[in-house]
Structure 1
Amino acid sequence: MDGKTHFIAGCLTGFGVAQYTNVDWVTTASFTLLGGFVGLVPDLDVKGVLAKKISLNKKWVITVLSIIGLYFILSSSIGPQTYWSKWQGILLGSALLILPSQIIKQKRMLIITGALVGVLSLYHESIWMMMLGIYIGVASFLSHRSLTHSLLGLCYFSILGYYMEKEILVDGLMFVCAGAYASHLLLDMKWLPKNRRGVKLLLPFSKIEL
């Protein structure tokens, strides 16, 4: 199933939870958008819509590193450093100018994004943010429709939703996370004619495709 369908299904799930819990319109809008976001989360294991939206832009990172490299080269060439310090600065600056464009790939940016979310979670002392950072980082290493499309992934994100609910103090967040995530798995199963492949819900214990 495509990203738009997963997003719409997640939004409808979030809206349904909002109606069930009878929250105000601001919370309803938040639940709806959160549901849409979570509905796309299992596809972080591919270069999908959500992966492109949340990961840092490779071009911007390369540009920033290039500017830093130029600074090292210019300051080392002009400044009153020793002979070896000057060459160290020039070599470091040259490396920052040349190497990032060769070694930085967009999928690696997803790993870096997960790491940054993890750092932010330490600053805010947030368990759910730490779990999200770990999920993003791990998902970038996985093949498509593997662990993120299993009951294990659903349980993980449901627990993440539980901690989000406890920290933000808004009832229903866990149900939005669990329901929207589950909607993605249901829509990717082979019972829909559009899907050529199903999902291996019982990974890593079984590779049976449903």
Structure 2
Amino acid sequence: MKGKTHLVIGAAIGAAAAAYYPFTFKNAALYITISAFSALSADLDGSSMLSSKLSGVSRLLRELVLWAGILLAAGVIYLYAAQDRLYPEYTIIAVIVFLLGFVAKSGIIRNALVSAIGCGLIYAGWIYKMNWLMGFGLFVAWVPWLNHRGMTHTLWAAALWSAIGWGLEEQLHIKGIATVSAAGYLSHLIADTLTPSGVKWLYPLTKKSFKLPL
């Protein structure tokens, strides 16, 4: 299934969460951003994401998202330098938007850049004693080198992502973050199950692809 479909599904899950939980603009932005990224994160295994198939509009959008992430990161750094305070919510949004810019790319350079970001997240998690951030960093650093629709498209990966989301919820003290993280990730697997190729939900215990093609 196409990335834009996963993105729309993830954003819809986040919007539903924003409507269900007590509403603030900050929480709504977090729900939608985290859910949308969760719905795309299984495709960080970049071997099948062919940039040659991207239209000019898609390439432009990709670059805009990437630069938006850079600008957001610059804003977070400025706030830290000016106020000597780190805003975890805005930092998380900046990192996720930046990573979204790489989801559409492929190749060794792309994989190396994503892995470098993952290593940076692991280090930041270790420095600030955030286990969820170290887990997130490990996921980001590892998965670009996996075969597409392999280990990232399994129940085990979904469970790992759910644990990361739970840790983030504990960090931010915002109810629903773990739920949208898990729902966003599972929406990707379910959507891919509806395609002819299906999903190897139990890999590597079995290589059987489960499919319910529409």
Task: Determine if the TM-score, normalized by the shorter chain, exceeds 0.5.
Answer: yes
Mapped to 2, the partners of 1:198 and 1:174 lie a distance apart of 26
1:163 aligns to 2:167 (yes or no)? yes
Question: Percent identity at matched positions?
Answer: 27
Q: How many residues matched?
A: 158
Query: Which residue pairs with 1:197 in the alignment?
Result: 197
| Structure 2: 5+ residue stretches without partners | 52-61, 71-107
Is contact 1:18–1:172 with CA below 8 Å preserved after alignment?
Answer: no
Mapped to 2, the partners of 1:18 and 1:7 lie a distance apart of 16
TM-score norm. by structure 1 comes to 0.69
Matching of residues 177-196 of structure 1 within 5 Å? 177-189=181-193, 191=194, 195-196=195-196
AA aligned opposite 2:32: T
Mapped to 1, the partners of 2:66 and 2:180 lie a distance apart of 21
Query: Which residue pairs with 1:136 in the alignment?
Result: 140
Q: Which runs of 4+ in 1 moved over 6 A?
A: none
Mapped to 2, the partners of 1:140 and 1:29 lie a distance apart of 26
- Give the secondary-structure state (helix, strand or coil) at the position aligned to 1:10: helix
Is contact 1:113–1:133 with CA below 8 Å preserved after alignment?
Answer: yes
TM-score norm. by structure 2 comes to 0.67
Aligned-pair distance for 1:205?
A: 1.2
CA offsets per residue over residues 114-148 of structure 1, 9 Å max, x none?
11111111222211110111001110221000111
Aligned-pair distance for 1:168?
A: 0.9
| Structure 1: 5+ residue stretches without partners | 58-103
Aligned-pair distance for 1:53?
A: 4.8
Assess, with a 3 A threshold, how the Cα gap between structure 1 residues 187 and 140 changes in structure 2: closer, same or farther.
same
Mapped to 1, the partners of 2:184 and 2:159 lie a distance apart of 12
Is contact 2:43–2:148 with CA below 8 Å preserved after alignment?
Answer: yes
Mapped to 1, the partners of 2:26 and 2:119 lie a distance apart of 30
Query: Which residue pairs with 1:145 in the alignment?
Result: 149
1:22 aligns to 2:22 (yes or no)? yes
Query: Which residue pairs with 2:3 in the alignment?
Result: 3
Query: Which residue pairs with 2:110 in the alignment?
Result: 106
AA aligned opposite 2:177: L
